[in-house]
Structure 1
Amino acid sequence: MINFITTFFWVGKLRPAPGTWGSAAALVLGLAIDRYLGFPVLVLATALVTALGFWAVGRELADRPGEDPSEIVIDEVAGQWLALLFPAAAFWGRGLDDWAVVAYPGWIAAFLFFRLFDIWKPWLVGRADRRHDAAGVMLDDLWAGVFAGIATIIAAGIAHGVLM
């Protein structure tokens, strides 16, 4: 059961690039949650998958300290949903519940920026990754999600002339 959770329903076993597969699956599910259940449910789901991820990754790696197996993608799910919360919150705050259909650059940017920061690992992302423990497995993707969310909002501001 732990492996089922950490691989996000075995999406992490897909090759090549299991992290990208995990992020893509998270994006599709996150958009569906936001569209059909609403932004508050996406916030709750993000909190729950993050807590579940810390627990499950801790259990999965308890006897393997220092490992970060590529098939563990629950961290990508938590980070991707965190990145998605930024544009979702912006649209929800303006009463636009169906933003995923009409504002596709927002979720595409959240996905691309998340993958960029998750692979590049700048600053706090890299610091968390260098912890080489179960918490670091989760934290680097959460930081990547925060940076991706901020970058998505900045890009939207530039694209719409707000920050020009």
Structure 2
Amino acid sequence: MNDIDNDIEIEKEKARKAERDKKTLTPEQRRLLLSTPVGLIASGFGSGVAPFAQGTFGSLAAIVPWLALRMLPMQLYMFAVVVAFAAGVWVCGIAGRALGVEDHRSIVWDEFVGMWITLIPAVAEGWWSVVIGFVLFRIFDVWKPWPIRLLDRRLKGGVGVMVDDVVAGVFAAVVLAVVLNALS
């Protein structure tokens, strides 16, 4: 193996390690997320430390506080979402730097805010609308159609962590509103 091939293999191994680091938590990282206010919020009150499907667990956990949010007048609900977004930019940025991975899978506050946006049309509807909203949000969050994928790749820091899920939430909310309208 020549030097160039060796350098290529080293870079490939670095890329594989970075991808593994994005998916797993060390005991120290887990402690950091669960023992600090910033970590607790960024990890969706601990839902992001699930051993797999952290985004799905975070999205499900977001339904619990949404049950209280949905009781607010719509203007206050929207204000709460804006405040949660602003707080998310800050806490997700700090948590990403602390974990050494900007958008670590255990950071799920963005799923909380995305779900709260998705569920706006479901505020006055039955439980089945929450299920449909959850499924739609997960589809858009995982699939990342344009411009979500572009935003996910281009924006950095806490803004980058939050914005793609906000846009996924908007897309899912629009589809949910259409579905609910068609079913009524």
Q: TM range, normalised to the smaller chain?
A: 0.7 to 0.9
How far did 1:110 drift? 1.3
Unpaired runs of 5+ residues, structure 2, are 1-36
1:12 alignment partner AA: G
1:85 aligns to 2:120 (yes or no): yes
Q: Is the contact made by 1:68 and 1:137 (CA closer than 8 Å) also made in structure 2? A: yes
Distance 1:83 1:19, change over 3 A: same
Name the structure 2 match of 1:148.
Answer: 172
Q: Aligned runs of 1:61-80 on 2, under 5 Å?
A: 61-62=96-97, 67-80=102-115
Structure with higher Rg: it is 2
- CA distance in 1 between partners of 2:102 and 2:93 (Å): 11
Q: Aligned runs of 1:116-155 on 2, under 5 Å?
A: 116-131=139-154, 133-134=156-157, 135-155=159-179
Q: Which of 30, 37, 51 lines up with 2:66 in the alignment?
A: 30
- CA distance in 1 between partners of 2:109 and 2:47 (Å): 9
1:31 alignment partner AA: L
Q: Is the contact made by 2:93 and 2:102 (CA closer than 8 Å) also made in structure 1? A: no
- CA distance in 2 between partners of 1:78 and 1:14 (Å): 19
1:44 aligns to 2:79 (yes or no): yes
Name the structure 1 match of 2:23.
Answer: none
- CA distance in 1 between partners of 2:62 and 2:115 (Å): 6
Residue 91 of structure 2 aligns to a residue in which SS? helix
TM-score (norm 1): 0.80
- CA distance in 1 between partners of 2:132 and 2:75 (Å): 21
Residue 9 of structure 1 aligns to a residue in which SS? coil
TM-score (norm 2): 0.72
How far did 1:13 drift? 0.5
Aligned residues: 147
Unpaired runs of 5+ residues, structure 1, are 92-98
Percent identical among aligned pairs is 34
Q: Which has the higher contact order (CA 8 A, sep 6+)?
A: 1
Q: Which of 84, 92, 112 lines up with 1:57 in the alignment?
A: 92
Distance 1:4 1:64, change over 3 A: closer
How far did 1:38 drift? 4.6
RMSD of aligned Cα (Å): 2.0
Range with bigger deviation, 76-85 or 25-34: 25-34
- CA distance in 2 between partners of 1:85 and 1:145 (Å): 10
Q: Which of 20, 34, 57 lines up with 1:21 in the alignment?
A: 57
Residue 21 of structure 1 aligns to a residue in which SS? helix
